[in-house]
Chain A
Amino acid sequence: MASASSALASFTFSSPHFMGHKVSIKEPSSMPARVHFRQLRVSAACASTAERPVSHIACPSSLYEVLGIQMGATGKEIKAAYRRLARVLHPDVSANCRNDAAANEFIKVHEAYSTLSDPEKRADYDRTLLFRPRRSFSVSVESMAGPTSSGFSGYSKRTWETDQCW
């Protein structure tokens, strides 16, 4: 039952959230109309994330935060961050906490990686970051997610040895 409800949540919320990025790349003019929309979706995703036992990613406001890296990260750093996260979040390794949440988080990490590891897609994405009036949005997201999300940059400090789930 739990899987059915989370599937429904993901169907209506988290997946369009990522599609939203792509849409906004192509039509920045439609952004204002969409911001409110996305905010709603993100808040719903946050609510369900908070209940998850393996929520490593709270509500990052950029793909760089998803991977826990700086905006100027090199291709190598992006790959390394992706691998490090895969070894923690991939449902195959998180054997003790194996559930749909782990898969969802891995999907997010992979989405971020596939955009940032492709130079063209990354350049497109960086442009949208610059032109997007997102400050108020991300603040509200962080406040909704509570104090835990502020420690998000701590991601990069995680090591494989200490953070494995098994």
Chain B
Amino acid sequence: MAEPAYTVASDSETTGEEKSSSAFPEIAIGIDIGTSQCSVAVWNGSQVELLKNTRNQKLMRSYVTFKDDIPSGGVSYQLSHEHEMLSGAVIFNMKRLIGRVDTDPVVHSSKSLPFLVQTLDIGVRPFIAALVNNVWRSTTPEEVLAIFLVELRVMAESQLKRPIRNVVLSIPVSFSRFQLTRIERACAMAGLHVLRLMPEPTAVALLYAQQQQQMIHDNMGSGSEKIALIFNMGAGYCDAAVTATAGGVSQIKALAGIATGGEDFLQNMMRHLLPNFDNLFSSRGINEIKSMGLLRVATQDAIHKLSFEESVQIDVDLGNGLRICKQVSREEFEGVNQKIFEKCESLIIQCLHDAKVEADDLTDVIVVGGCSHIPKIKNLVKSVCKRELYKGMNPLEAAVCGTALEGAVASGISDPFGNLDLLTIQATPLGIGIRANGNSFVPIIPRNTTMPARKELVFTTINDNQTEVLIIVHEGETEKADENHLLGYFKISGIPPAPKGVPEINVCMDINASNVLRVLAGVIMPGSQQPVVPVMEVRMPTVDDGHGWCAEALHRAYGSTLDLMTVQKK
């Protein structure tokens, strides 16, 4: 290829709208990067088509091996054996690690993976490394993802015989905006431009909207509004969404997501089979990694079998005289993972509640993702929603098909048969607000607000003659500001001296259809309609690494001198 495979663009190039200058706009491809598997799909002019790699696979394992000088990923590289993945040289599960700091419990649970995830518990990036010739070679989640994305891009380019630049990626609902910037960075490193980042269940919702449209065209369905609950559980994340669909328009009414998935089932089971798991493998020598890998493969295999069988025999020799020989029943598996199932259940209940929808209002209930094969998952969704499950979708391909549809729609492609007369009206998965009234989080754009969105709130000073305020922007759902994700901060200066509570500090947040967040803040004094100082406009997130520290450092440096409070509504 003439173009270097590994180009790093600046952050500013990764977002924003671009118009294609040619008469035939480039159709963006859809990519679903899963924690364990990934796939690529594209609108081929009449329908969505999944692309296959040279080994004829539509679903490819998400991993990168550092065994050779040039790292290679699961698109092009064929593992000689499943155990090779667990030799220490192969990095995977990056979707669980990207954009997280080393105090994050999800990072801590990743320490049982058969490569190095080192945490110092101070709120910085974890140290991640692959074992190559008995040397720990360091890498980052962004780099691993970029290597992988380059392979996917090359695969798509060779099949579609055109350069690929624009992509629509599916992402977990629970991803913070900081994590989204990390995904965009990985795409930029791979020479890809992100047209949209779509929460996974909303991609499924778009596919559902298209299917309902087609049924009307085939005179099989009615044109009335259909309300669907979508539950998606993969290896790393679990999401729920409620969509109201009619006429090809999918309005997302509510979203909810957590960082819990098949990986957690696996870890619970490994610890169940080998209770002193953590002690045994703490040293992480070559032998420990090998044993850990053997246990992982055996446990994964058993969990898969338990989806179809009532019980399974595990017999695995972990070396060093350690052997596990045990009969495990499905009931046992469900008992060990009781808490995860409860979390899934409450996620669905919360999503229905947020959407102001009763189970009886649902037209369809869709379960997708790798964990959708687990009988207990199917049963719990059925029992909460009081419905049989929708059968018209491939649970492993639905999300990528949805991103391909969005890719075509967002590229401005139309279809003579109306199959692309589609629209997703997205909602914000997390609330966005600022710190005020001490350490309170005051949402300005609440969770599940329709996008594009613009909201504003008025704040004021807490001290007499306070001439400066700090605007600290967070994202999340917790009432304490510092427990939410920090997106950025800036200071407004030049407020005319006045008694506390007099200056009106107007904070406006704006999210456009490309999900770009801007925070505007201005000061208005009573009796005037013009801002007294120029309005500040900041594109967020602005924080980079070590963001957990910034809020603490600000507090240490300034205390409450630059705080603000909400204006009481009269």
Contact = CB atoms under 8 A, between A and B. Distances in A.
Nearest to A90: B423
B508 interface: yes
B423 A93 contact: yes
A8 B421 CA distance: 34
A47 interface: no
Contacts of B19: 98
Interface in B469-527: 506, 508, 510, 512-513, 518, 520, 522
Interface stretch (A48-56, A100-108, A121-129, A136-144): A100-108
A11 B423 contact: no
B412 A166 contact: yes
Contacts of B506: 11
Contact of B452 (A40, A87, A95, A106): A106
Contacts of B425: 86, 90
Interface in A1-41: 4, 7-8, 10-12, 15-16, 19, 26-27, 37, 40
A107 B247 contact: no
Contacts of B412: 95-96, 166
A15 B530 CA distance: 15
Nearest to B513: A91
A122 to B, nearest CB: 15
A15 B456 contact: yes
B453 interface: yes
Interface residues of B, number: 38
A11 B518 CA distance: 11
A104 B512 CA distance: 9
A83 B249 contact: yes
Given A86-B423, A92-B424, A166-B412, A4 B512 contact: no
Contacts of B535: 8, 11-12
B511 to A, nearest CB: 9
A96 B25 CA distance: 11
B17 A98 contact: yes
B246 A83 contact: yes
A87 B510 contact: no
A59 B456 CA distance: 21
Contact of B246 (A15, A79, A95): A79
B537 A10 contact: no
A102 B454 CA distance: 13
Contacts of B569: 26
B570 to A, nearest CB: 7
B531 interface: yes
B544 interface: no
Given A7-B518, A37-B529, A166-B414, A15 B421 contact: no
B194 interface: no
B456 A107 contact: no
Contacts of A26: 569
Contacts of B512: 91, 100, 103
Contacts of B454: 10, 15, 104, 107
A92 B450 contact: no
B423 A87 contact: yes
A43 interface: no
Interface SS majority for chain A: helix
B537 A16 contact: no
Contacts of B570: 27
Contacts of A166: 412, 414
B359 interface: no
B188 to A, nearest CB: 22
A159 B96 CA distance: 45
A87 to B, nearest CB: 6
B464 interface: no
Given A90-B513, A107-B454, A12 B522 contact: yes
A110 B535 CA distance: 26
Nearest to B224: A76
Nearest to B512: A103
B155 interface: no
Given A103-B452, A160-B421, A166-B412, A7 B520 contact: yes
Contacts of B242: none
A8 B534 CA distance: 10
Nearest to A106: B452
Contacts of A40: 529
A8 B531 CA distance: 11
A62 interface: no
A52 to B, nearest CB: 15
B409 interface: yes
A149 interface: no
A37 B453 CA distance: 24
Contacts of B423: 86-87, 90, 92-93
A114 B569 CA distance: 22
A51 B256 CA distance: 40
Q: Which of B425, B455, B522, B530 has the most CB of A within 10 A?
A: B425
B513 A10 contact: no
A19 B456 contact: yes
B225 interface: yes
Contacts of B225: 79
B508 A15 contact: yes
A34 B483 CA distance: 39
A110 B455 CA distance: 13
A123 B529 CA distance: 32
Nearest to B356: A118
A24 to B, nearest CB: 13
Given A12-B522, A86-B249, A160-B247, 16 more contacts: A7-B537, A12-B531, A12-B535, A27-B570, A86-B423, A87-B248, A87-B249, A92-B423, A96-B412, A102-B513, A103-B452, A103-B512, A107-B453, A107-B454, A110-B450, A160-B421
Interface of A: 4, 7-8, 10-12, 15-16, 19, 26-27, 37, 40, 79, 83, 86-87, 90-93, 95-96, 98, 100, 102-104, 106-107, 110, 114, 160, 166
7 contacts: A12-B529, A12-B535, A83-B249, A87-B421, A98-B19, A100-B512, A107-B453
**Which 5 A-B residue pairings sit nearest by Cβ, starting from the closest?**
A91-B513, A95-B412, A103-B452, A11-B520, A83-B249
